[in-house]
Amino acid sequence: MTQLEIEAFWRQAQSCLRDRPLPVGVSESEPPATQSFGATPEQADELLDLILTGVKTGTACPLRDYELEGDPLPQVGDLCIVLDGAGSPRALIRTTDVRVVRFDQVTEEHARAEGEGDRTLAHWRAVHEWFFKEYDKHLRGFSPYMPVVCELFEVVIPAELPVAAR
CATH no. for residue 117?
3.10.400.10
Identify the pLDDT of residue 166.
33
Task: Quote the DSSP letter at residue 7.
Answer: H
Residue 162: inside a domain, yes or no? no
152 within 8 A of 96, measured Cβ to Cβ: yes
Q: Could you tell me the residue range of the domain that residue 119 belongs to?
A: 3-157
Residue 163: inside a domain, yes or no? no
Residue among 2, 157, 162, 154 at smallest CA distance from 88: 2
Residue 165: inside a domain, yes or no? no
The domain tally of the chain equals: 1
Pairwise CA distance, residues 82 & 90, whole Å: 6
Residue 147: inside a domain, yes or no? yes
- Each residue's pLDDT expressed in tens, for the chain with a length of 166 residues: 588 999 999 988 888 777 666 665 566 668 999 999 999 999 999 999 999 999 999 999 999 999 989 999 999 999 999 999 999 999 999 999 999 999 999 999 999 999 999 999 999 999 999 999 988 877 778 999 999 999 999 999 875 544 333 3
Residue 59: inside a domain, yes or no? yes
User: pTM of the predicted model, to two decimals?
Assistant: 0.88
Residue 102: inside a domain, yes or no? yes
Residue 14: inside a domain, yes or no? yes
Write out the H or E segment, with its range, that includes residue 63: helix 63-69
Residue 41: inside a domain, yes or no? yes
